[in-house]
Amino acid sequence: ILNVEQSPQSLHVQEGDSTNFTCSFPSSNFYALHWYRWETAKSPEALFVMTLNGDEKKKGRISATLNTKEGYSYLYIKGSQPEDSATYLCALIQGAQKLVFGQGTRLTINP
């Protein structure tokens, strides 16, 4: 079983501040990394699929980068808003189909 680590486990940020957090994974046999956003009492929703070393993806104020050689991905949120409060999950594809999820970073935006 792959070990996908996310840090920090939780984060409190003031509204308007920017923030980032990390997903670390084994760098060998990389195929793809997913980022999901999971709001309380809802289901996880996909943010990004990242496949190439050096990939940068952006969706509004949220962006992500990927370094497959050193085994990490960063998720950035610029100008945090209360609606950004959620748990952010990264997941690595193992084999043909399986996703292995990290434990998530729980982000709380303080107004």
Of 15, 26, 27, 31, the one binding other proteins (CB under 8 A) is 31
Separation of alpha carbons 47 and 3, rounded Å: 21
Separation of alpha carbons 88 and 6, rounded Å: 9
| Residue pair 64/48 in contact by the 8 Å Cβ criterion | yes
Asked if 7 interacts with other proteins (CB under 8 A), we say no
Of 17, 69, 98, 110, the one binding other proteins (CB under 8 A) is 98
| Residue pair 109/21 in contact by the 8 Å Cβ criterion | no
Min dist. Cβ of residue 16 to other proteins (A)? 29
Interaction site with other proteins (CB under 8 A): 1, 31-32, 34, 42-46, 49, 89, 91, 93, 96-104
